[in-house]
Each structure stands twice: as structure tokens, then as C-alpha cells.
Amino acid sequence: MAQAKRGEDFEKTKGSPDNFTGNVFIQNTGKVEEGATVLRVTFEKGAHTFWHKHTGRQVLYFLEGKGRVQLRGQEVINAVSGDVVQIPPNTDHWHGAHPEETDHMSHLAITSGELTWEEPVADGEYTAK
């Protein structure tokens, strides 16, 4: 039988300043299969992850606001509600609110594998046109 759980009932955990710039709130919305997590991540104005990679694939499904994703060495990708960005395994990248977003951006992060955190995103990279 299908189960419904209301959005406001998912506990919010604040992202660590060791891994994120700015205010980020993470809601674990459940596993879809062994090893795959489904997180709703909300980035307030100016917030974004540090560089990182996952040993498995990651799918980012954008829900609200304007966001950005960048794979190392590639042009930045801008994303809005309804857009889906696929991150290949073992690929350095970051994601977060678009620098011009004045409220917040939220996405679902559907992820498998282990996560390795790297260095903060340089300001010039974050705000690149």
C-alpha cells in the first residue's frame, strides 16, 4: 500500500559549515533501494555545497527556486523547478542556490554510493556567468 507523509513532517537537519557555504537544510525522505537515499535539500540565499563526489550516480531534481550545478572543468549549469541534472559516478561537482536567487532553492538529491567532501567552491566559480 502506498504511504503518504506530509512535507512538513520530515525532520530538518542543518548542513555542516565543514561541507556547505551558507544555510542549508536537509530532509531525509527515505530510501528507494538499498544504498540509495532521497534527500530534500534546501539552500538559502547564496548557499551551496563544497566540491564533492559520490561513488554512485546522483540525480538532482529541482523543486523550487533557481539553482546551479557544476562539474569540475565544465561550464556551470543553471536549473529551475522541474529540471533534472544527472551527475556521473566519481565526478567532482557542486550544487546550490543560483547566486541571483533571493529566497531559496530546493532539490531532491537521489544518490547512491559513498560521499567524499573536498574544498569550498571559490567565490569566482560560484558567481561565474
For binding to Mn ion (CB under 5 A), which residues are involved?
Answer: 58
Residue 6 beta carbon to Mn ion: minimum distance, rounded to whole angstroms: 26
Residue 54 beta carbon to Mn ion: minimum distance, rounded to whole angstroms: 6
CB closer to Mn ion out of 9 and 107: 107
Count of positions (residues) in the chain: 129
% helix / strand / coil in the chain, to the nearest 5? Answer: 5, 50, 45
- Cα–Cα distance between 36 and 96 in angstroms, integer? 21
CB closer to Mn ion out of 66 and 70: 70
State which residue has the least CB distance to Mn ion. Answer: 58
CB closer to Mn ion out of 9 and 18: 18
- Cα–Cα distance between 122 and 83 in angstroms, integer? 25
- Cα–Cα distance between 37 and 129 in angstroms, integer? 32
Three-class DSSP category at 126: helix
Cell of 1: 500500500
Residue 4 beta carbon to Mn ion: minimum distance, rounded to whole angstroms: 27
CB closer to Mn ion out of 26 and 101: 26
Residue 95 beta carbon to Mn ion: minimum distance, rounded to whole angstroms: 6
